[in-house]
Chains A and B, each alone.
Chain A
Amino acid sequence: MAAVRRTPAPPPARPRRALKALGALALILALGSCAVPSAQPSGPGAIAPAPGGVRGTPRGSPGGSGPVPAGPRPGGSGGPRGGPPVSLGVDVPATPPEAPGFEVADAPRQVIVPGPASPPVRLTIPAIRVATPLVRLGRERDGSMQVPADFARAGWFAEGLTPGQVGPAVIAGHVDSKTGPAVFFRLRELRPGDTVQVERADGARLRFVVEQARSFPKATFPTAEVFGPAPWAALRLVTCGGDFDRARGSYRDNLVVFARLASVSR
């Protein structure tokens, strides 16, 4: 249980009525039919899939989001009741209120590919001109992950999760062969926001967005971070980096690019 604190709400501000009414009208017009309920009642265990966009467009003026004062106080918290009458319990959605400075959007929904899992067959990364079929990878006898035999192709860890399911799907490719660059030679150039596309055997086309890229020594490879639980449909692209250890014939580091599913099309 994290520390939670309850504080009284600040005194209500006195808005300028006319301006506010005008703003409200403008907002209503602007929102139009976008104002849909953000979280529909759903069946047990259901996580609403929303292919094609998790969030609405941020609206409202880009106001200052100043720091929030928070003080130490343990324990649970409740809400201060009283003040203006609060009418909870109405079973109809309402027009979102005017809230200057706030991004107004549906609560984030899980983006997944609905239906059964299907293996990824092709990987495209426009920013670094990667376009490769995907081979299937398992584990070696020593428990480590197999790598593609073909330096020009990337491979998907088929004993793990499938792109489009909640959890981490892992794709590995060589940075180089013995003679020159291989399929993931330019992986190090990827930056947050770059697009990574995966095509599955069922025809689903998945667009992932890079969140971060990090290097780890192989000796302390963070298996939990790369293969462990992820709360959304995730993709990890792995190659080698750092110094090349000639005695072992192996790079010392792994470069891991972390990406998150943003949208799905067929």
Chain B
Amino acid sequence: MRGVLRAFLTVALAVCVLGMPRLAAPAQAAPGDQAMIRIAHFSPDASYVDVYMVSLNRKQLFPNVFYKGVSAYWKVAAGPFTYEVRPAGATPESTPAIRVTGKLDAGKAYTVAAVGPKAQLRGVLFRDDMSPSAPGKAKVRFLDAAIDLPQVDIALAGGRTLSSAVSFPQPTRYAQLSSGNYKVEVRRTGAEAVLVKGNVAVRQGTVTSVALLGGAGKPRELFAFGDATGTRVAPSGGIRTGAGGTAPSSRAPAAPVLLLAVAAGAGLLAVSTRRRVRA
């Protein structure tokens, strides 16, 4: 019996030393192959439309999207996708008023928008930049989706030009602004007269898009919608959330190891008992 006990202890020790488990691998989803997308309706006179979004993993129909409707982002599989717009209630077999195909990169964010008058609807797909703003700043960009405007310059009232020579239907780059309420003026490029003006309020850490909208019977205006919000001042580096009390080798082996050792010992016991019986 002493031999059996010794064998048991040896095996148990071996298991504890050699088979020390590492911390279990954390939950690993595979979201790296997903992209974020949202839809926007900026055609002033197209009214209600049905939006079809087909990506690698989903076929979605959003009925009755209205002018100035901007959806939240959602995730779809990265890769090819198709965006189609039809008049509200039109059958999916009917010719779409807009059809855009494109490719979404993993981990990136996009807006796909319907722009232009209803007789010349078109779709535009653009990237949204969700990288952090400079410390203490906000990021703002503009999208010229207004009908019948010439090329324009966009400036803060009485000062800084944010974007020049902006034309339909391209988004500008993001500008960095301090927190505040700004009066924004839109002029024909190089001219003095203000074509459109409006207020844009931004807070530190936010990412905002402002669409220049209107025409075809709708008022010209600046329409702001949020892209994302980040932490105003983020802490630096990693976070010290552990003191090591459960780290391997600083404490008795974890329960599964003990169980394993007991099981191994029991097996050994059984084997040696049988041997003894035979002998």
Interface string of B94-116 (1 = CB under 8 A from A): 11111111111100011000001
The CA of A175 and the CA of B74, in the complex, are separated in Å by 32
* Contact B103–A2 (Cβ < 8 Å): yes
Does residue B123 face the partner (Cβ distance < 8 Å to A)?
yes
**CB of A83 to closest CB in B, whole Å:** 3
A188 adjacent to chain B (CB < 8 Å)? yes
Q: Contact residues of B with A, CB < 8 Å?
A: 22-24, 26-29, 31, 36, 38-39, 41, 43, 45-52, 54-74, 79-82, 84-105, 109-110, 116, 118-128, 130-133, 169-171, 198, 201, 205-207, 221-248, 250-251
A180-B69 contact in complex given A78-B120, A88-B46, A96-B64, C-beta closer than 8 Å:
no
Whether A192 contacts B241 in the complex (CB less than 8 A), given A39-B65, A69-B80, A102-B52, comes out as no
Q: Which residues of A contact B226 (CB under 8 A)?
A: 45, 47, 166
Assembled-state Cα–Cα distance A103/B236 (Å): 42
Pair B240/A9 contact, Cβ less than 8 Å: no
Stretch at the interface among A104-112, A118-126, A195-203: A104-112
Q: Is the CB of A231 within 8 A of B89?
A: no
Q: Which residues of A contact B242 (CB under 8 A)?
A: 174-176, 182, 239-241, 244, 250-251
**By the criterion CB–CB under 8 Å, are B56 and A65 in contact?**
yes
User: Smallest Cβ distance from A180 to chain B, in angstroms?
Assistant: 5
Sorted nearest first, the 4 A-B pairs with minimum C-beta distance are A39-B69, A218-B238, A94-B89, A240-B242
Residue pair B244, A246 in contact (C-beta under 8 Å): yes
Contact with B along A74-111 (1 / 0, CB 8 A): 00111111111011111111111111011111111111
- Counting CB contacts under 8 A, is A40 at the interface? yes
> Which A residues touch B63, using CB under 8 A?
35, 38, 93-94, 96-97, 104, 106
Q: Please determine whether A83 and B95 come into contact, CB atoms closer than 8 angstroms.
A: yes
The answer on a CB contact under 8 Å between A231 and B94 is no
Residue A13, interface by CB 8 Å: yes
A44-B241 contact in complex given A107-B65, A180-B246, C-beta closer than 8 Å: no
Residues on the B chain within 8 Å of A38, using CB: 62-66, 69, 71
A181 to B101, CA, bound (A): 51
The answer on a CB contact under 8 Å between B101 and A239 is no
Known: A108-B71, A228-B130, A242-B23. A7 touches B99 (CB 8 A): yes
B89 touches A144 (CB 8 A): no
Inter-chain contacts of B221 with A (CB < 8 A): 44
Q: A211 in the interface, Cβ–Cβ < 8 Å? A: yes
A178 adjacent to chain B (CB < 8 Å): yes
- A2 adjacent to B126 (CB under 8 Å): yes
**B183 to nearest A CB, angstroms?**
14
Given contacts A76-B169, A239-B242, contact A70 B23 (CB under 8 A): no
